[in-house]
Structure 1
Amino acid sequence: MADERSRPRFVSAAALAATLLCTTAACESSPSPESPGKDRPKTAWVEPASYAYTLTSLTQVLAGTFRVTVRDGRVAQAVGLDEDSRRQAQEQPDRIPTIGGLLKTLAEARSDGADTADAEYAADGRPVRISLDRDENSIDDEAQYTISSYEPTPG
C-alpha cells in the first residue's frame, strides 16, 4: 500500500515540475536585435553601401578583432584592436571583408558542400556569427567570424 500512496505524489511532483518548466520558458524575454538566431534569417537583410562594424575573426588567414568601416560597398578603413590585428590590418588590408563578403563566403561554402557552414542572425536579418569548416577531417580550415557593433553610416 505504501507504493500506491507514493505514486500519486510522484505524478503530482512531475506535473508541477513540468508546469514550472513551461512557465519559465514562457517568461523568457524576447531576443534583442543583437540576439542571434540560427540558420536562415527571418527577414532579408540588404547590405547598405556604408556602415561600420566590429569583426572578430578566428581563421588561419585572419585572426583578431578589427573595427571596419565600409563605404560604397568596400572596406575603406580597418583598424586592428589588438596587436595581431593591427599588424594584419597594415600588412594585409585586402583580407578584411565586408559583411557582404562574409555572406558570399558562407554561400560558397554551402554550395560547395562544406561540413559546417552555419550562421546566426540578428532580428533584422544581418549575420552576427558565421562558422565554417569546409572539411572536418582537414586541419586549420575552420573559420569563426563574429560581427558586432554594427552601425549603418551616411554614405
Structure 2
Amino acid sequence: MTAVATRSRSVSAAVLIGALLCATAACDSGAAHPEPAGGSAPAAWKEPASYAYTLTSRTQVLAGTFRVEVRDGAVAEVLGLDEDSRRAAREVPGLVPTIGGLLERLEQARDDDAHTAEARYAPDGRPVRISLDWDENAIDDEALYVISAYDPTPRRPDVSS
C-alpha cells in the first residue's frame, strides 16, 4: 500500500509541475510584446533612405500631427499640420523622428521591460501604430505614434540652377 501512495504522490507532483510550467509559459507568451493581429510576425521592412510620412504623436513632449520628409536617413523637413505640431516643430524641431527612430524607441521599451510596448504593422512590415508605456502607474510616460500617408518616393528637392 505504501508503494501505491508514493507513486500517486509522484504522479500528482509531476502533474502539478507540468501545470506550473504550462502556466509560466502562457504568462510569458509574448504578452508584453504582442504580435500583430492575425498572430503572424510582420514582414521584414527595411527603412529606405528617403521617404515621407505623416506622424500623429500623443506624448508629453511631442503632440500633434506632422508631415515628415526623410532624406538620406535623416529628417529633412517637418511641417506641423495643427496648432500643437506647428508649435513643436518651431520649439523643438529635432524631436520628430524617422520611422526607424520610432522602431528604435519600441525596441528600447521592450529591452527596458516597459509595461506596454506594442506595434501594429502594415502588410509590408512597416509600423502603422506604436504604443508605449514604461510604467503602468505613471501618468506622464505614455506615448502613442500613428504613422500614415507613407510615401516611399517623396518629392525630391529642386536642384535646378
Q: Aligning the two structures, in what range does the TM-score lie when normalised by the shorter sequence?
A: 0.7 to 0.9
Residue type at the aligned position of 1:114: A
Give deviations 1:45-98, integer Å, cap 9, x for gaps: 000000000000000010000000000000000000001101111111110000
Provide the residue aligned with 1:131 in structure 2: 131
If the length of structure 2 is used for normalisation, what is the TM-score? 0.71
Residue type at the aligned position of 1:112: D
- 5+ residue gaps, structure 2, are 1-35, 157-161
Provide the residue aligned with 1:46 in structure 2: 46
Matching of residue 73 in structure 1 with residue 70 in structure 2: no
Aligned-residue Cα RMSD (Å) equals 1.5
Conserved? CA contact 1:40–1:121, under 8 Å: no
Q: Secondary structure at the match of 1:42?
A: coil
Q: How does 1:79-90 map to 2 (within 5 A)?
A: 79-90=79-90
Q: Secondary structure at the match of 2:101?
A: helix
If the length of structure 1 is used for normalisation, what is the TM-score? 0.73
State how far apart, in whole Å, the 1-side matches of 2:41 and 2:123 are.
Answer: 8
Provide the residue aligned with 2:11 in structure 1: none
State how far apart, in whole Å, the 2-side matches of 1:61 and 1:111 are.
Answer: 22
Q: How does 1:73-152 map to 2 (within 5 A)?
A: 73-152=73-152
Identity %: 69
State how far apart, in whole Å, the 2-side matches of 1:108 and 1:139 are.
Answer: 19
Larger relative contact order (C-alpha < 8 A, sep ≥ 6)? 1
Residue type at the aligned position of 1:83: E
- 5+ residue gaps, structure 1, are 1-36
Provide the residue aligned with 1:24 in structure 2: none
Provide the residue aligned with 2:17 in structure 1: none
Residue type at the aligned position of 2:63: A
